[in-house]
Structure 1
Amino acid sequence: MTDKIIKVLIVDDSGFMRMVLKDIIEKQSDMKVVGIAKTGLEGVEKALSLKPDVITMDVEMPELNGLEAVKLIMKKNPTPIIMVSSLTSKDSEITIEALENGAVDFIQKPAGSVSWTFRSVGDELLEKIRNAAKVDPTKLMRKTIKVKKPRISLSLRGQKIVLIASSTGGPRSLDTIIPNLPKGINVPVVVVQHMPAGFTKSLANRLDKVSELTVKEAEDNEELKPNTVYIAPGNYHLGLKANGLKVYTFLDSSDKINNVRPAADFTFDKAAEIYKSNIIAAILTGMGKDGAKGAFKIKHYGGKIIAESQKTCVVYGMPKAVVEENYADFVLPNYEIAEKIVELLGGK
């Protein structure tokens, strides 16, 4: 029995990029390019007629940009989409919004949007296509779920911290959780989202616009403040260090952990040494096992672990690892996590 061939649709307004993408994909025995589109509008039409398994989607295109194309495809025929983005502030902002609207992943064009050096990330692209092909398209649809806004308990006190780890599908879950954390939780929140440099800043800026808490990309050696969400910057592990009663961040460029940097295990480990039992950690959607070792350490000190349930995970990998090791105190869909965090902080 032969493995299923992954049907790929390429949507890109650059003839050069279409050629490079097609060449990289067609060399694989388990993939086939079933269509090529030069505009977002054409991409939507071919997505509906060809019904590919995976779509690679350029961000900036005439007629209809990548974000609008993603929205239409998710509305009419949900399909795993990988955004192909250049590292400009505009492209990274659109990419983050596309991820929140159903795109499953993205890949960054190196050293210029039409550079031949795109071939240098060919292996990464192929891995992302294979992983995207395994995603259940129904998990990508934007569902309108009324999230109960948690109330603040007057019992919130003491030096506590909330930690969140996420990867593939993470921006959508973060977009459900962070805006529903009410102002006045009086603790810092630290988020490790697997994402390259530049994109984490766009993620922070976008979440800041829709949240009651202040959301920012973490900097080196800044004091953790309550009611502030710190996003680990791409390409750096985010550590915490105590100085008296204050806790400060530090950025670390040591080797990748679990093949990622930033890694949740790094942050969780440092936080556990400082906050001991005063940690609530949430492990969200994503591939691999990052966060599992850190969750073990947090559990060892008496902290609480929340795992996102398979119901809302785009990829049930990281939370599954935590659940299978029996580290999870709660397994919840993403739209119930904010309320549980507040409840745990208040000691109800």
Structure 2
Amino acid sequence: MAVKVLVVDDSGFFRRRVTEILKSDPTIEVVGTASNGAEAVEKVSALKPDVVTMDYEMPVMDGITAVRKIMARSPTPVLMFSSLTHEGARVTLDALEAGAVDFLPKNFEDISRNTDKIKRVLCDRVKTVARSMRRSAAPATQAGPRPTASRLGAAAPAASQQAGAPARPVVYNRGAAKHKLLAIGTSTGGPVALQKVLTELPANFPTPIVLIQHMPATFTHAFAERLNRLCKITVKEAQDGDRLQPGVALLAPGGKQMMIDSRGGVVRILPGDERLNYKPCVDITFGSAANAFGGKVLAVVLTGMGADGRDGARLLKSKGATVWAQDQASCVIYGMPMAIVNANLADAVLSLDDIPSRLVEAI
């Protein structure tokens, strides 16, 4: 079945180019376009697309207001187009909080050149979002009931579990050794998930935290500022040489890699390696944490597409560390956590709602 898309933008040129790019994929059908937010809200109700691509700055009704109305009337996955500026980052974060699933940089030059890369990125993102939403909306007879935390001592999910199937949840054994670092990795859906987790941690949270969120360089500073404003703990974009401190969360800067110094006291910020798909990369930070702290790490993998974090989690587990994964039912995209579960690396599979309280219990 083709993925049905509604394209929303006040620029006629941009609407045409996005439509042409999406139509180049035979598995995608553009069912309509809209030139402002109010028109988008009406067309979502009438056309029932699987995914909406949405601009922010539009006449009559802006993109964030349109997202809120769509989520209230006809909940539909929305992919925002964002400018790569500090203001664009702020607006995009507002849109994600309003209910948008993900975002892509709005680059007129790339769209105009009609590069194969922009075609692949846009079409793949639309299809991934649509697949994830269809799976999360499947009846319980197909996808299984929503997982809930079991009692202590339950077995870890089997590695042979089929992709997309909900994992059998377990919870962390509080009798384990005290953790010296909390490391959280995430991608699509991560900004809202991280906000949910971090805002519920107390100001006296006793363990240093490192955060790895797939995000452009111009976004991470704005995201750290937003989290710091909302949280009781301190959140800041990491800088080279920052010390790990209790109750302080260091967010890996976009376009770079964050590593834990082998002596365990500071973070190192290194240039992004072009050979790596992700900058920042969860595997890189997790791996360095394993070398620095061994089994004294609690790593959490939240919502996101792909499998970043799996190799780093495997190294952490080899050192005796603890790894948690977000459950399918509460993920925006069940990709990164599923990779952890299917590799039999998860000590716990938890709903997003349960993770903050479990962290307080465990640390």
Q: TM-score, normalised by structure 2?
A: 0.84
Q: Which residue of 318, 329, 336 corresponds with 1:318?
A: 336
Q: Residues 278-325 of structure 1, C-alpha deviation per residue, up to 9 Å, x if partnerless? A: 111100111121111111111121211111011201111111111122
User: How far apart are residue 16 of structure 1 and its match?
Assistant: 1.4
**CA spacing shift, 1:192–1:334, aligned 2, 3 Å:** same
Q: Take 2:207 and 2:314, find their aligned partners in 1: how far apart are those partners?
A: 22
Structure 1: which amino acid aligns with 2:352? Answer: N
**CA spacing shift, 1:324–1:138, aligned 2, 3 Å:** closer
Q: Residues 317-342 of structure 1, C-alpha deviation per residue, up to 9 Å, x if partnerless? A: 11111112221111110111111122
> Identity rate of aligned residues, in percent?
40
Q: 1:240 corresponds to which residue?
A: 260
User: Matched residue of 2:185: which SS?
Assistant: strand
Alignment of 1:49-128 (within 5 A): 49-110=46-107, 116-117=112-113, 119=115, 121-128=118-125
User: How far apart are residue 158 of structure 1 and its match?
Assistant: 7.4
**CA spacing shift, 1:117–1:342, aligned 2, 3 Å:** farther
User: How far apart are residue 97 of structure 1 and its match?
Assistant: 2.1
The answer to whether 1:18 aligns with 2:18 is: no
User: Matched residue of 2:354: which SS?
Assistant: helix
Q: Residues 212-257 of structure 1, C-alpha deviation per residue, up to 9 Å, x if partnerless? A: 01111112222222211111111112111145x7323322322344
Q: 1:267 corresponds to which residue?
A: 285
Q: 1:134 corresponds to which residue?
A: 131
Q: Residues 3-42 of structure 1, C-alpha deviation per residue, up to 9 Å, x if partnerless? A: x122111110111111211111122212222111111111
Q: Take 1:262 and 1:305, find their aligned partners in 2: how far apart are those partners?
A: 19
Structure 1: which amino acid aligns with 2:265? Answer: K
Alignment of 1:260-339 (within 5 A): 260-339=278-357
Tell me, yes or no, if the aligned pair for 1:265 and 1:292 is still in contact at 8 Å. yes
Structure 2: which amino acid aligns with 1:47? Answer: V
Q: Take 1:139 and 1:66, find their aligned partners in 2: how far apart are those partners?
A: 25
Q: 1:180 corresponds to which residue?
A: 200
Q: Residues 55-111 of structure 1, C-alpha deviation per residue, up to 9 Å, x if partnerless? A: 100011122221111111111111111101111222211111222332111110236
Q: Which runs of 4+ in 1 moved over 3 A?
A: 117-120, 137-140
**CA spacing shift, 1:70–1:138, aligned 2, 3 Å:** farther
Q: 1:152 corresponds to which residue?
A: none
Q: Take 2:216 and 2:33, find their aligned partners in 1: how far apart are those partners?
A: 27
Deviates more, 1:333-342 or 1:246-255: 246-255
Tell me, yes or no, if the aligned pair for 1:162 and 1:281 is still in contact at 8 Å. yes
**CA spacing shift, 1:319–1:206, aligned 2, 3 Å:** same
Q: Take 1:308 and 1:248, find their aligned partners in 2: how far apart are those partners?
A: 26
Q: 2:172 corresponds to which residue?
A: none
Q: Where does structure 2 lack aligned partners over 5 or more consecutive residues?
A: 138-176
Q: 2:35 corresponds to which residue?
A: 38
Q: Which residue of 201, 215, 222 corresponds with 2:242?
A: 222
User: How far apart are residue 115 of structure 1 and its match?
Assistant: 6.7
**CA spacing shift, 1:109–1:223, aligned 2, 3 Å:** same
Q: Take 1:95 and 1:256, find their aligned partners in 2: how far apart are those partners?
A: 28
**Aligned residues, how many?**
324
Q: Which residue of 3, 9, 29 corresponds with 2:26?
A: 29
Q: TM-score, normalised by structure 1?
A: 0.87
Structure 1: which amino acid aligns with 2:43? Answer: K
User: How far apart are residue 268 of structure 1 and its match?
Assistant: 0.3
**CA spacing shift, 1:240–1:117, aligned 2, 3 Å:** farther
The alignment's C-alpha RMSD in Å is: 2.2
Alignment of 1:153-168 (within 5 A): 160-168=180-188
**CA spacing shift, 1:137–1:45, aligned 2, 3 Å:** farther
Deviates more, 1:217-226 or 1:308-317: 217-226
Structure 1: which amino acid aligns with 2:112? Answer: W
Deviates more, 1:31-40 or 1:221-230: 221-230
Tell me, yes or no, if the aligned pair for 2:179 and 2:298 is still in contact at 8 Å. no
Q: 2:227 corresponds to which residue?
A: 207
Q: Where does structure 1 lack aligned partners over 5 or more consecutive residues?
A: 141-156
Tell me, yes or no, if the aligned pair for 2:111 and 2:118 is still in contact at 8 Å. no
Q: Take 2:288 and 2:6, find their aligned partners in 1: how far apart are those partners?
A: 43
User: Matched residue of 1:246: which SS?
Assistant: coil
Structure 1: which amino acid aligns with 2:321? Answer: G
